Structure 1
């Protein structure tokens, strides 16, 4: 809504509600910067409750007794270790979805951030680094847990929200004082939080003809560069945000080596790394030879949506290489099993 339209409507309703002329001016002075940036105006907790469709006392309970509004479980990471996921319960998730769509996604993030953005993803991240002399990949250690509630509150303050509303929104988007892995707001908030660092890094990269992208906590660089200087720059930049690089995940790949970015080979035609393709190929071999149910029993597979799980992996491979005849046949076989 344009400010002038908002102003006319607000002045009428506020006068009818008995607001003083001074209060009306204060409210409009607060509202104008928010509306000019495209953000919704939120005056207080009662106002937020109307906007999100949940009672004021529910919102207060959600920010005071936060752990009770999440479901915790673990998933296995690539290295075999477990990652804790904190998934908000449906009602809190609806509030977070509202914050994501109406507030967070209004704010633009770095074009070099390829994760958690509509119509941008892993493929764009990978293709940017195809056929380069050197590829360097870095990993931010404990990315989401390192982004604190105070950082999130500062983000909402920078949008123009009051201290009260910024504090409230930050508590609705965090758990145990940091970004929870599993909340719909966490990914986009991480992109906003890292935007300044992205800008510093890309300024150096553009000046030195280096290609740079970031996919969540994975930073990828390619070109012909001095890796020591680049790593030192990134370390200094992320340290200012309270972040550190994972020392065991600094990987430099030269032309005579297999170069991978976020698990995708980029030396020539982008494709999924061999061991992942081979594992999927083996699974399909057993399904075709013994049948789906027998294979699942033999391997103690208990996925309810196992076919969809496999189709997702195959579709990703075909997205990279649409003419891959072998995996096109696997896809046809799985679709046939669903009928």
Structure 2
């Protein structure tokens, strides 16, 4: 996208016969955004956003108004059963293709230009899982906590504040918020009105009024970065707690990780840390998933984001390598081969299986390059039936 230039904007507007005072007001609005962050694109109105994204204005207005038609395809996928055997599910909401275009534009042009807290190690440009795990390598104590329903816990108002603090005007911040959130199931919490209306405002867009509170949808390209930005203050608070107690803190989405190499650290300190972090979660409207809390003392297994961090560098887990060994063995076996292996492992297609295994090898190459190269060599020798 080309850089905003107020002179060019005004000259083009005058050519089209637009009132100079309207153009001057628009330039003032744009410069407020640019003054906050010169890398952000000024967005003057919803119609301007429609022009920037190439998506129909009427569709955007329809989404923002929370009309009856749901612009998301919603489905559930199974999660690991609870400790009591209860089945659990994760709700995924995939946006309409037109909304997906807008959200990708917002993520690329706006959200990726904003700065998250240093403790946040996922979803910003350049973030790598291996680097996030490396921070905790060689630790003696490892404490892992989890946030329950992370994306769904970030409501419209938190998202609105992200756009407002980025330098956008209140109305366009509200409209961007509605384009990045969805209405979940009806609940007392979500049905409580928390937007306040300024009765002195010159005009109210009545179609924008809705009694229910939206939240970030898991499945939208904007949700990861918006969640990171919305909990920036929470990250500051938890970083201060961690520093005071003497541990290192990182957050990978809903996974909170704390570690220390201090051999004098104690179980009492770990319990104090957990209590204070849980209190901070509650203060920010978040809740812990206490069943997923893990404390690994000296001598215990140290795993961060699926990688072993007991040594100086992250390593792949044993079960990852065992799984890879089975894949390569059966793919290369002339009596078995790709077709039989795909059926046995219940892949929907041989191509899908091949892409999946190639992805595993690419991941392995990032963590243990020599091992990854050996796997790639064996994989390249597989005879595929196409």
Aligned equivalents of 1:2, 1:329: Cα separation in 2:
46
Q: CA RMSD in A?
A: 2.4
Aligned to 1:285: 329
Give the deviation of 1:271 after TM superposition.
1.9
SS of 2:139's equivalent?
A: coil
1:94-133 correspondence to structure 2 within 5 Å: 94-133=101-140
- CA distances 1:69-125 after superposition (whole Å, capped 9, x unpaired): 222334444558432221112221111111111111121111221111222121011
Aligned equivalents of 1:29, 1:318: Cα separation in 2:
50
Aligned to 1:302: 348
Aligned to 2:74: 72
Among 269, 274, 291, the alignment partner of 2:318 is: 274
Change (3 A) 1:329 1:76: farther
Among 248, 264, 274, the alignment partner of 1:231 is: 274
Aligned equivalents of 1:277, 1:66: Cα separation in 2:
49
Aligned to 1:215: 252
Change (3 A) 1:52 1:316: same
Give the deviation of 1:272 after TM superposition.
2.6
Aligned to 1:44: 45
SS of 2:369's equivalent?
A: coil
Do the aligned residues in 2 keep the contact of 1:2 with 1:35 (CA within 8 Å)?
Answer: no
Change (3 A) 1:47 1:164: same
Aligned to 1:178: 215
Aligned to 2:303: 260
Decide which structure has greater helix share: 1
Q: Is 1:337 paired with 2:382? A: yes
Change (3 A) 1:130 1:60: same
Give the deviation of 1:296 after TM superposition.
1.8
SS of 2:94's equivalent?
A: strand
Change (3 A) 1:31 1:66: farther
Do the aligned residues in 2 keep the contact of 1:42 with 1:165 (CA within 8 Å)?
Answer: yes
Aligned to 1:32: 31
Aligned equivalents of 2:109, 2:233: Cα separation in 1:
22
Do the aligned residues in 1 keep the contact of 2:332 with 2:383 (CA within 8 Å)?
Answer: no
Among 136, 146, 157, the alignment partner of 1:139 is: 146
Do the aligned residues in 2 keep the contact of 1:271 with 1:317 (CA within 8 Å)?
Answer: no
Q: TM-score, structure 2 length as denominator?
A: 0.79
Change (3 A) 1:24 1:118: closer
Give the deviation of 1:25 after TM superposition.
4.7
Do the aligned residues in 2 keep the contact of 1:67 with 1:175 (CA within 8 Å)?
Answer: no
- CA distances 1:125-149 after superposition (whole Å, capped 9, x unpaired): 1111111110001111100011112
SS of 1:170's equivalent?
A: helix
Moved more, 288-297 or 165-174: 288-297
Give the deviation of 1:170 after TM superposition.
0.7
Moved more, 178-187 or 236-245: 236-245
Structure 1, gaps ≥5 residues long? none
Do the aligned residues in 2 keep the contact of 1:173 with 1:185 (CA within 8 Å)?
Answer: yes
Moved more, 122-131 or 307-316: 307-316
Aligned to 2:157: 150
Number of residue pairs aligned between Structure 1 and Structure 2: 334
